[in-house]
Structure 1
Amino acid sequence: MGHMGSALAATLLSGGHTVVAYDRSPQHIRALQLEGAQAAARLADLSSCDIVISSVPDDTALHSVAFSSDGLIRTLKPGALHISTSTVSTSLSRQLGKKHADASQGFLAATLLGNPDLAKAQRIFILAAGAAADIQRARPLLEQLGQRVFELGQDPGAANIMKLACNVMTATTMQSMSEVLALLIKAGIDPHLAFEVFTGTLFDGRVHKAYGEKIVEQRFKPPGMAAALGVKDLRLALAEAEHQIVPMPVASLVHDRLVALLAAGWDDLDWSALGALAARDAGLDSATDTKEP
């Protein structure tokens, strides 16, 4: 489950649902047990559930959850619905859609726009794709989890490519803000004043405000989206772009900047630490101490 999955589970509990929680990390389950969740010792213990929501970091983890010997495809009952909220490849989502259908189960890709804090406040956006009947069945549940559900058609992969596209736009926005803030700081402009000018004029979007504030405050811990996950998401987006024969030179550059965060040993920081990287490259020593919360 991690931070995002735990937030989703807590919302379902507060809405009166019976929730069975499974995670490889026992502490995640213990925290939810205090809120009323039942604990599952293994994936197969979810076999009686009507709907299972998975929230894992990458293709490898989701493949294991679905296809292992006690995974969801083997253990869920006919008619059960698997909702994947993970940011994974389009090919894996399509494969899961087919395999679940072969097992007389439903599958829905429902990727999320927002961080765990927004999930706790039920303010995330949900991008849903899959069979129309599965979307209709899941919609009441999804509407409890977020502020708006976007239906993207019957191809589960559509939810994943849409999420990847949004993450590319977020990452490129953070990179541009990081560069101009480094320039302004070296020119003697207070970064807080610069942020006020940006977000109080033409750049007042959610990404500019939320991530710009993190960059200005150098607040990169705890990560809402760890730098390593940002690398993964842009890699997936670029792979899809290559498949579709779509050049994405800016996305390629920002992917490399995120890789540079890992090379600097900052893989446990929020991906907005692109701001710290730009500041360091500009010779702003005060911005390099990003290990402290």
Structure 2
Amino acid sequence: MRTIGVIGLGKMGLPIAENLLDRGFDVVGYRRSIECPELEAAGGSVASSPADLAASCEVIVSILPTADDLERVVRGPEGTLSTMRPEAVHLEMSTIPVPRKLDLMRRLEDVGATMLDCPISGSPVMVRPRLATVFAAGAAEAIDRVADVLDAISGPWVKTGDFGTGTHLKYISSMLVATHTVAAAEAIVLARRNNLDLDMVQSALERSIAGSALLEQRGPRMAQRCWLPAPGPIATLHEILDQVEAHLHDLGEHRPVFEAAKAVFDQAVADGWGELDISSVHDQISNEDAFITGVSK
């Protein structure tokens, strides 16, 4: 089995590494704090630097918070670029602007390696059971070479086309998450205003053409007004929505439904609700203080 490097052992990266270990891959991880006892307990090892990791890996997976973080681990003083193996494949799974990824992809091409644009769509709790979806974009031959790695990371994954199309599909997915969440919240708030039985409303709508995955997943939380633990924190989604907004601006596009939904999430962040689940926008819409498992925020 090939050795896979995982850079970024956070809420998404650690379960990705564990999934790879489950499939029999050797896994070397790296995070800035260096120590990762969870990975070692699962059977992986920890590298002292990104360069150390790249020297021993045929495939590298990175999932990081920002473009600057990715730039640092690839091109920094101890970055992967200094030791990257020719023919190595780097699966870049962060949600960051395509131009920043493209620049690094070209740097890797200079040393004979390949970067793929592979953002993952789904909340952290969906990763370990392999329910999140990877959007794999870039050189088709390289994607085929790492198909078994993608199979190990997530159950569903799809080839989306040229480099960058994975991120753009992730933007579309995030637009739908935002708009569907707000639509579901508006529906539950209206049901409350009309004193309807919320369990009945949930059951009826799930079986109708009006149902949605977001209503099915978040409707019960909205009914109970229970925002923690948060399978999908507002702050995480909001960071992506900011990127979507900037991308639409660059394209000269106006999307009023998205803009209305984003305004709700903007206000939630401004009110300090970032760590709460996205379903808490129910209380933004109903003009109530957010409650955390019955305790006012």
Q: TM-score, normalised by structure 1?
A: 0.90
Which sections of structure 2, spanning at least 5 residues, go unmatched?
Answer: 1-8
Indicate whether 1:290 and 2:292 are aligned.
Answer: yes
Structure with greater proportional helix content: 1
- 1:221 is matched with which residue? 228
Moved more, 186-195 or 229-238: 186-195
- List per-residue Cα deviations over 1:63-92 (Å, max 9, x = no partner): 222222212223322222111111111212
CA distance in 2, matches of 1:219, 1:101: 48
The change in CA–CA distance for 1:65 and 1:271 in structure 2 (over 3 A counts) is farther
Contact 1:110-1:159 within 8 A present in 2 as well? yes
Matches within 5 A, 1:93-132: 93-132=101-140
The change in CA–CA distance for 1:42 and 1:151 in structure 2 (over 3 A counts) is same
Q: Of the candidates 10, 13, 16, which is equivalent to residue 5 of structure 1?
A: 13
> Considering only aligned residues, what root-mean-square deviation do their CA atoms show, in Å?
2.0
Moved more, 228-237 or 212-221: 212-221
For these two proteins, the number of residue pairs brought into alignment is: 286
CA distance in 1, matches of 2:214, 2:143: 28
Indicate whether 1:162 and 2:169 are aligned.
Answer: yes
Indicate whether 1:257 and 2:264 are aligned.
Answer: yes
Secondary structure at 2:275 match in 1: coil
- 1:276 is matched with which residue? 283
Which sections of structure 1, spanning at least 5 residues, go unmatched?
Answer: none
Moved more, 141-150 or 159-168: 141-150
The change in CA–CA distance for 1:173 and 1:78 in structure 2 (over 3 A counts) is same
Q: TM-score, normalised by structure 2?
A: 0.89
- List per-residue Cα deviations over 1:119-146 (Å, max 9, x = no partner): 1111222110011221111112101222
Matches within 5 A, 1:1-293: 1-25=9-33, 29-46=36-53, 47-154=55-162, 156-279=163-286, 281=287, 283=288, 288-290=290-292
Q: CA deviation at 1:98?
A: 1.3
State, as a whole percentage, how many aligned pairs show the same letter: 23
CA distance in 2, matches of 1:194, 1:174: 16
Q: Where do 4+ consecutive residues of structure 1 move more than 4 Å?
A: none
Q: CA deviation at 1:26?
A: 5.3
Code of the residue aligned with 1:74 in structure 2: it is: S
CA distance in 1, matches of 2:224, 2:170: 27
Q: CA deviation at 1:42?
A: 2.1
Code of the residue aligned with 1:241 in structure 2: it is: L
CA distance in 1, matches of 2:254, 2:58: 42
Q: CA deviation at 1:232?
A: 1.5
The change in CA–CA distance for 1:194 and 1:16 in structure 2 (over 3 A counts) is same
Secondary structure at 1:221 match in 2: coil
Contact 2:184-2:214 within 8 A present in 1 as well? no
